[in-house]
C-alpha cells in the first residue's frame, strides 16, 4: 500500500511538472486583450481601501481608481456589534496591519472586465465590485476572521482565497461568489497558485508571523507549515510538501520552512520561493522533490539584524519571472531594493532602490517587472533585460498586490464612462 501511494505521488509530481510544458507565451500574446476590453494593472492600496488602475505597460499612466470598501459602514456596524469580530479586527490592525486596517489584500478582474474581486483581510471577506458604478455585486465571508492571498484559475472563472485564521482555502465562482469547494491547509494559509492547466492548486502556509519568537531555535513554535497541493476540481489533497525536510537535506537546518511568495518556471518543472527571514530565494525541483539551488542576495547595511523588527517575519517578499523564464525579479522588502536575477547563473543585477517593496509581478507586454513600493506609495517598473528602473507611478496608501486584469475599453472609473 505504501509503495502504491509513493508511486502515485511521484506520478502526480511528474504530471504537475509536465502537463503544460512548452514555450513561454510571447509578449504579444500576453498583451492581447479580448474585443472591447483593455488590459490593465490593478494596484491594491491596502491601508486606504482603494485600487488604482494603471496601464499594463509603457508609461503605466493612471486610468482610474475605485473604492473596494463601498460598504464600509455596514461592515463596521457588524464588527462593532460582535465582540469576537471586534477583537480580531483590532488584532489585525495592531499586528499584521502595522497599526492600520487592511482593506485590499488581493484582487482579480472578471473575464468580461466588468468587475474586480477583492479579498479584504480586516473584513474577513471577498467581494465583487462593479467597475461601472462601484457597488458590491456579491460578498463571501470567509471562514474565521481574516482573508488573505488569492489566485485565479487560468480561464478566469474561479478564484481561490486563503482564510488565514481557519487554515482553509475557499474556491469561488468568480461571477457569482458561490463556493465551489474548499480544502484544509497548514497553519495560516498564504500564497495560492493554480497550475497553468488549471488542474491543481498549490497553497503555501506560513504559520504564525506575529510573535517575537523569531530566532532559529524557536522556529518550531511558528506552527505547521507546508505546501498543500489539491485537485482543483475535487479539492482532494494529492500531495503535501514539507520544506523542513527538504531544507534540512540541503544543509539549511536553521532556515524557516515558511514558504512565502513563489513562482513556477514556464514549464512548471521548477519552483522558486522565498522563506521567512531570508534575503534571497531557493529553487525546488518538482520532479525530484528536492531543493536544488539557493540564491543569497545582498543585505542593506542600514537594515537592522533584529528579526523582531522585520514586518511579519519577512526579509524579502515578492518574486516574479519574465515570460521566457530567463530572469527572476525579487522584491527585497526589508532591504529596500528590487533586483533582476539571471535564472541560469543566479547573478543579480543592479539593486534598484525601492521603499519596502512588497510584491513583484510582470507587465502586460512581459518586458518589465512591476514592484509595489509600500513604503513610498508608488509602483516601480524595472526592465527585465537591463535590470534598470524605467518608471515610477504614485498610487494610494500602502500598495501591496499588483495584478494584471481587464476593464472595458472605455473605462475611466466608476461613473466616468
Report if residue 328 sits inside a domain.
Answer: yes
Mean pLDDT for the stretch of residues 14-27: 37
Q: What percent of the chain has pLDDT over 90?
A: 89
pLDDT above 80 for 311: yes
State how far Cα 292 lies from the chain centre: 23
Q: Is residue 174 part of a domain?
A: yes
Residue 16 located in a structural domain = no
Which has more confidence, 291 or 24? Answer: 291
| Separation of alpha carbons 109 and 66, rounded Å | 13
Number of domains in the chain: 1
Kindly tell me if the per-residue pLDDT of 385 is higher than 80: yes
**235 assigned to some structural domain:** yes
Predicted local distance difference test score (pLDDT) of residue 5: 38
Task: Kindly state the average pLDDT of the residues 59-74.
Answer: 97
Chain mean pLDDT for the chain: 92
Three-state DSSP class for residue 54? strand
In a domain, 370, yes or no: yes
218 occurs within a structural domain: yes
Give the domain CATH number at 220: 2.130.10.10
Q: Residue 190: its pLDDT value, please?
A: 97
Residue 217 included in any domain: yes
pTM for the whole thing? 0.91
Residue 415 domain-assigned? no
Domain coverage including residue 184: 38-408
Amino acid at each position: 500500500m505504501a509503495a502504491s501511494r509513493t508511486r502515485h505521488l511521484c506520478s502526480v509530481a511528474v504530471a504537475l511538472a509536465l502537463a503544460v510544458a512548452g514555450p513561454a507565451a510571447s509578449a504579444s500574446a500576453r498583451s492581447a486583450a479580448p474585443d472591447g476590453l483593455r488590459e490593465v494593472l490593478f494596484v491594491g492600496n491596502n491601508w486606504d481601501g482603494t485600487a488604482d488602475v494603471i496601464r499594463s505597460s509603457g508609461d503605466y499612466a493612471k486610468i482610474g481608481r475605485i473604492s473596494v470598501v463601498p460598504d464600509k459602514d455596514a461592515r463596521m456596524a457588524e464588527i462593532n456589534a460582535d465582540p469576537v469580530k471586534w477583537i480580531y479586527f483590532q488584532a489585525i490592525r495592531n499586528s499584521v496591519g502595522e497599526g492600520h486596517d487592511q482593506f485590499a489584500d488581493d484582487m482579480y478582474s472578471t473575464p468580461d472586465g466588468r468587475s474586480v474581486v477583492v479579498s479584504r483581510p480586516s473584513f474577513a471577506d471577498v467581494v465583487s465590485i462593479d467597475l461601472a458604478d462601484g457597488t458590491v455585486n456579491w460578498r463571501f465571508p470567509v471562514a474565521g476572521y481574516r482573508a488573505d492571498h488569492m489566485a485565479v484559475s487560468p480561464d478566469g472563472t474561479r478564484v481561490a482565497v486563503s482564510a488565514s485564521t481557519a487554515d482553509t482555502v475557499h474556491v469561488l465562482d468568480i461571477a457569482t461568489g458561490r463556493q465551489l469547494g474548499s480544502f484544509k491547509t497548514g497553519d495560516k494559509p498564504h500564497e495560492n497558485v493554480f497550475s497553468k492547466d488549471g488542474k491543481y492548486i498549490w497553497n503555501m502556509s506560513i504559520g504564525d508571523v506575529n510573535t517575537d519568537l523569531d530566532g532559529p531555535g524557536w522556529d518550531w513554535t511558528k506552527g505547521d507549515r507546508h505546501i498543500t497541493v489539491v485537485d482543483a476540481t475535487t479539492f482532494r489533497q494529492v500531495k503535501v510538501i514539507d520544506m523542513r525536510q527538504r531544507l534540512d537535506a540541503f544543509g539549511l537546518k536553521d532556515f524557516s520552512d515558511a514558504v512565502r511568495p513563489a513562482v513556477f518556471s514556464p514549464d512548471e518543472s521548477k519552483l522558486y520561493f522565498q522563506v521567512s527571514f531570508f534575503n534571497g530565494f531557493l529553487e525546488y525541483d518538482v520532479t525530484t522533490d528536492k531543493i536544488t539551488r539557493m540564491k543569497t542576495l545582498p543585505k542593506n547595511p542600514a537594515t537592522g539584524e533584529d528579526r523582531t523588527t522585520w514586518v511579519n517575519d519577512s526579509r524579502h517578499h515578492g518574486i516574479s519571472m519574465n515570460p521566457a523564464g530567463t530572469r527572476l525579479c525579487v522584491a527585497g522588502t526589508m532591504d529596500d531594493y528590487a533586483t533582476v536575477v539571471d535564472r541560469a547563473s543566479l547573478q543579480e543585477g543592479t539593486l534598484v532602490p525601492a521603499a519596502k517593496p512588497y510584491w513583484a509581478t510582470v507587465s502586460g507586454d512581459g518586458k518589465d517587472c512591476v514592484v509595489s513600493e509600500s513604503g513610498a506609495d508608488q509602483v516601480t517598473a524595472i526592465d527585465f533585460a537591463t535590470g534598470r528602473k524605467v518608471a515610477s507611478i504614485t498610487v494610494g496608501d500602502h500598495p501591496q498586490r499588483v495584478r494584471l486584469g481587464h476593464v472595458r475599453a472605455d473605462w475611466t472609473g466608476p461613473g466616468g464612462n
